[in-house]
Structure 1
Amino acid sequence: MTPRRAQREDFGELQLSEPFPSEVGRSRQFPVVDRRWLSASTGPNPLASGSFEAIVAELTACWDRGERPHVEAFLGRMSSAHPADVVELIYHEFCLAESKGLAPDPTDFLRRFPDREASLDRLFRLHGALSSTELRQWTDPEILPEVGDEIGPYILKRELGRGSFARVYLAEQSDLDDRLVVVKISTRLTPEPRLLARARHSHIVEVLWHGSAEDGTLQLICLPFLGGATLSTVLAERRRIGRRPRSGRDLLSDLDRVSAPEYPKANLARPAREVVEGLSYPAATAWMVARLAEALDHAYLRGVAHGDIKPSNILLTADGNPMLLDFNLAVGWRLPGASDLPADAGGTLAYMAPERLRAVAESHRMSTPSAADRHRADIFALGVVLLEALTGQSPDLPQAKARTRQEIAAMLAESGRNGDDAMRWLARSSVPRGLRSILTRCLAPDRADRYSQASELADDLDRWRAGRPLAFAEEPPWRFRLGRWARRQRFAVAAAVLAVIICTTAMTALWHSFQSTLRRQAEDKLTLTWDRNDSTVFRFLRFGNWSPDNQIDAAETACKHLNLYNVLEDADWRLRNDVQSLPEPERSELEVWLLEQILRYTRALGNRPDSPDDWLRAQALLEQVMAKAPFGPLQTQQRRLLQQLNKTGGSPPLTTPQPEVAVRPALWMEDYLLGVEAEPRHAREALVHYQAVLRARPHSFWGHYRASTVAFRLGDQPATAEHLRQCIAQRPRNVALRAQLAGCLFMMGQYDAALAECTKALEIDPDHAVSTRNQTFVRKQLGQGDHVKSDLRRFELLTRSQSEVLMLKVRLESMHSSDPDRARSAPKPIEPILASDQADDLETRLLRATQLRDRKRYPEALLELDKLIELEPEHLEARLYRAMLLRKLECRKAMADFAYLVDHPRLEELIAQYKDAVSIYHQRTSDLLQENQPKAAIKVAQDGLVQAYRIQTMLGESHYALARAYGLAARSEPCFIPRAAAELENVFAINPSILGNWFEDDVNFDGLRDRVRPARFKRD
């Protein structure tokens, strides 16, 4: 506890009126008196100008302004001359003089008031007995409670603001379920609660309760907690950000950033916020000030003048409503012509009207202003607030060494800063002209030139906001009224504009019709190119019969696609009508597809051996394309062609350089072409590029399609299906895409969904052979035998290749029917072996080789596989079958095939299609161990273990292969013994039978078998 706090609590314990003394180290509790229950007959109305409380407040205000009035001027105005009140008033002057450092003499007061000598003498002697510190605690605002204290039912949670003799807290009201309220506590008794009650309005903060504490030393006012922040806080936030608001939405954003966090966001009422959000910033400010003007007018009609209007006394609630606060300096009167008004209690100089400044500066000649004058002074202050809110600049006090309030007020009044300076400031601002006229009326130096009532100000503000003529302020020049006139005469203006539009439409109708025709033709051509049945655009073949580099028709197919848009002949093909007329995103998708065809075409030409003429054609095309968009993959292909030409002694033809301005290529197109470049041999790298395309362009058609092809090669069927669905969403009538999705769903075991896709594809094109074939497979799997026969007849009718029909029949016979009755009633038929002359494609040859292998006709199977690999050396599936068959026949030629497969960059794709292909690593590891190459065997075994964990298959076998490699290496390097033991422990944990079958007889563990044997593995 601080010394000041301890001293204060000790002093609280000495007060006889304190029924619950504070405990040391705990929050204080202040008993309160609810003034609502005091009878009106117990004393005079504190609001009356002749009441004791009003006179004390006026005397204190005069001393605060720097004046030194004597109490004799106030004694004659007291409505009830109770002796105790007279003595207290005299003593109050003594305390005020002492607080100002004047060292008043008690003898002087006894001489001035001889009839009160006895009472004053006892009071002054008691005053002298108290220490100066204890005395200041009676008048110093430091006696105010602090956060954490309890005062009546209120628990003070957070300080919201403070003044010279008052503080405002956010509090919880314990007797009403701890609701949040605002409690204002001051050391002076003011008429504020009664004036608030009298001037009750939707834009004036409402008083919920008022009372006193500490034997009347503290005045309490309970107000509702409305959230939000004061206008001064909102304007300060705007100045901090340094951004000029453009709309009411910006104003509400500033308000939300500084609003009280305790106010629940879910309770925000919408009407006021919706009004403000839909307005420009000047209109939103005008709307708020108009509501405040209505509140001022309402208070004026009920005999209340605010007296201290400024941004810090205006609350913007969380729901966007402006509210007037702090009626501490307000004055009230009962009748419109009342003459017993109290003197001007002061205010904020920067917002004072000129006549109020003169009154403060000449306080010795001060006269009591009338109610109308006070109201017009409030209108002036509200105009200054409006100007500050519009410009963001606050009115500053003059930089001078003025010591007193009177001197500062005299300087302001003499310079006319609050009047003429405001007009000059307004003329240089960016405030709309209509609002300038309103502000000119508000800030007129002569009060007679201002609005007579705040309701007039509110009316003009609403008129300006609605685009109507101003009723009280001077209208701006005609050029500024033109926009407002147009809004008012909107029907006539609309008719004129409509006539112009009709004429313009008639003049341009032909042009628009022509453009619509071009667009429709371009879309029809794109649909014909991409969605027709015999299109070669979409290639989605089964793994194994697609060669990345040696497609016979690659150049022919790409050339055909490029000729559709004359890309090979026209360097400005992007400006063609059938390209330029396409809407986005189709135009960009067509452009990137044509760039892909250029890359494929030039790569196919470059791969032609000993063909410099083809290389020169590719080089010329790349130069033509890169003059417009220098994409990285095209540059790489150009460098490769130049190297080939240099090796053969050829050179590209000399061409006259054309001054082309290279357009910066789109990054997503760059990523797409990088994916196409990497796709033949590095599928996973290509997938990374396609994913980058989709991050930049989530709905890219070709980004999704290329990603689906790569995902299919990597065995990710769910991703493949999702990408194909995205493609179909953009081109729902593309039967090729639906057929591919059906095949993917079939491989995932989703037969009903696959059948649905086949049905949709055949509804679009009943003659689509691929969809018919897919439907046959699905129905066979679902056991729909009758439909399978009809589909097979339909496929025979549609296909042009008899080998495909025979291959389909063979595969249908090899499929296991899902009909259990048929499976029990009929034995599995023997598949017919395709004739050799029917093997006119790679897939048919592979199927024939598989049939021969299953019949144990191994030499014939090897012959078919040899022919297939001779036609397509990179047919990995055929390589795998041949290697396994050679290993079965114990032929050393298998070692070459296993070595080829392990080193091939597309092995990961093969494993994704055939999970047992992980055994390739095991076979290659065994071959290397036989050749006594343990280090190379370790590397291969480790790669195999990574692939096994990736697809979660053959884990035990992969660990055992690595253990064998470590075992052989340990013969020369004992450091590998612990590693071999660790791998064998993993094998035992995954599949102990592997050790039981192979470990004891494995020569790679000779000499160290007992040292690496798992502890739990028992030798038989």
Structure 2
Amino acid sequence: DFNLSTDWSPGPASPAGSSSRDPGGTLAYMAPERLRVIAEPELAPPPCPAARHRADLYALGLILREAITGVPPDVPPPDDSLRSGRSLAARLASERSSGDPCDRPRLASVPPGLRVILRRCLAPAPAERYANASQLAEDLDRWRAGRPLAHTRSPLLVNVGRWLRGHRKAFTAATLSVGIGGMCTVAAAHIHAGRSDLSDRALEKYIGLAHDLDFGARAFWSYDPRDSRGRPGNPSHAERLFTAYDLLDDTTSDFWNHEDLIRLKEPDASDARAWIIEQALVYGIEAARPENAPFREDRERAYKVLNRIRQDCRLSVLDGIARLLGSQLGLPGEPQHSPPERESPPWLEDYLEGVLAEVLRPQEAEAIGFDPSSIGHASAVTRYKAAISARPDLYWPWYRLGAISYRNGDFETADRSYARCLDRRPGDVAVLLGRGSCAFYLGRDEDAIRWYRRVVEKAPRWPVGWRDLALLGARTGRPELVEQGLARLNRAGTPDGRRAIRDLNGHLALAPDLKLNPFVQVAFADHPGFDLGDAPDELDELGTQGMLADEYLARGDLHEAIRLYNRILELEPGHLATRFNRAVTYQRQGEIAKATEDYRQFVADPNVELLIERKPTGLISFLVLSGEEALSGKPKEAIRLVEEASVMADRTGRYRGEVQYALARACVSAARQDPSMLTKAARALESARASHPGYIERRFYTDPALADHRAELAGLIGGVDF
């Protein structure tokens, strides 16, 4: 299927929960750039005709390889979910973007000249393939006729052999000896060059993943246990990494000796292993958190990845989280495999213990057997310094020390750490940004501007760099910097750019002491779209703070959101919308007691029904409190709260399914004293399914509140498909 009748561009936006339209084509025969469009349609640029043509030549190369070997491309079938198809496309794209497509045992008998043609058809980079099909056809004809290839360099040994056959009588035995010796020398040089090329590709792959600003390798790590902030990252970022290094593939076994890791030189090899294991550890912690209980497939992937790493190397720091995930998945015990012979280096244990100290919450530390007194930023700093003492040549311990020191306000240490990172990776844009921020807080304004300018020079499409440069210009009284940043962000016209503009505007609105040139104020006012959403004309300071706080909440910056919500409630304690938003933020932080108190004040307010008519999401407060009352052994109060929410849900037409499901949970709690309440619970579940198809299926089999009566309830409602 050459995808001739379907455009590359992704389909139009689909309703929530539904699949986008079929992108066309067959995954097994797609080029890596085409697969990346399917895996990440939101990042996909429209292809030019030449790109489409070379993607077709890649597919033709796969068919040629299949014709030669009799074996089709090895592609596992996806399930029916959209996410599965995208994950499979990402995995195939990663596999086809690295390695040698002709380096397979079944191609060993293929003549070298034909292997060269095949290798060019299947080159990962489109520019390295044939420009058009006529070139491929000509080279195939030339190979059949025993003539030199016109559009691809034939292997040296093939060309020399062909020349010798045509001049056999003109050469003596001595000439042949010299020729053979020369060929051996050249062959050895080619082997060495091939190995160097593979090493370069392995390094390019690692650097590309680790330092890609769009990949999210650093964004996935956004935890701050000091204030219980738990901003989750995007699991697809970690899954892309695991796919790239075959940790989700059952066909490979030894992660430590993965071909793209052993080809790296030191210290890159150690750095890459440390980073991959770090990401697996953080992914496992995130998957094990209670809020992710409905996502069993994420827990299964995390468990699989951790155990793949553990079977290759003794890493005690991974044992606790792997056991916790196994328990959550209901698995009988540890996977059966022989104990690994490889001992982990002490610096790696120190580094990973620093990771745990930085990201774990106290209750999570106890659950995995990690000393709760060893979590927190001070312990993390100690462990990172221990890793650096053993391996000062590594990148990631320095980076983590710099990042955590920056958050702690130790800008001198952060700046020194970032400087060591740049010794290893001079073009690392995230670290350049970090040095600029450190310079600003250390009072070195000109140095800060210099670092920020390097950021926007190296990553001109990254909105964060332009936003921070503009903000620095405002803080230092440099209106030209503000104008440059604002103009570039507006010109980008992307969602990230618009968010950066709103963020910048909010910072300026809340900083009246900034001495801005009037020219800058006019520039801000004249730029279209430069306001906080659809703000009314009379938006005052309180409204500005509220909109900025909501923006922080939407971005996941919970600490800043709480700070602003606190300021609003100090000025206006009866601001109901702010109290509800603060409760939601506390809940996401894991501060359940504070969230519950805010929810109680919200529910008890006499104006709550008026607010819920305008903001139906406020119904969540009733459902959360109902769950708390059920856990406290007060089922009647739990039912009362849900029934009150049910009246408002019917009035607004929103959250009916969620409310009925919460009623079922409350009735199950009451059934401990009155078994007849199970019938009412079953009716509520049926109503939930009718109001919100698919909702209970996603929760029914993982909800601990239903554990004691799950089988009976499933029978009463005729079964639940999971």
Using the size of structure 2 for normalisation, the TM-score is 0.46
Per residue, is there more helix in 1 or in 2? 2
**Structure-1-length-normalised TM-score:** 0.33
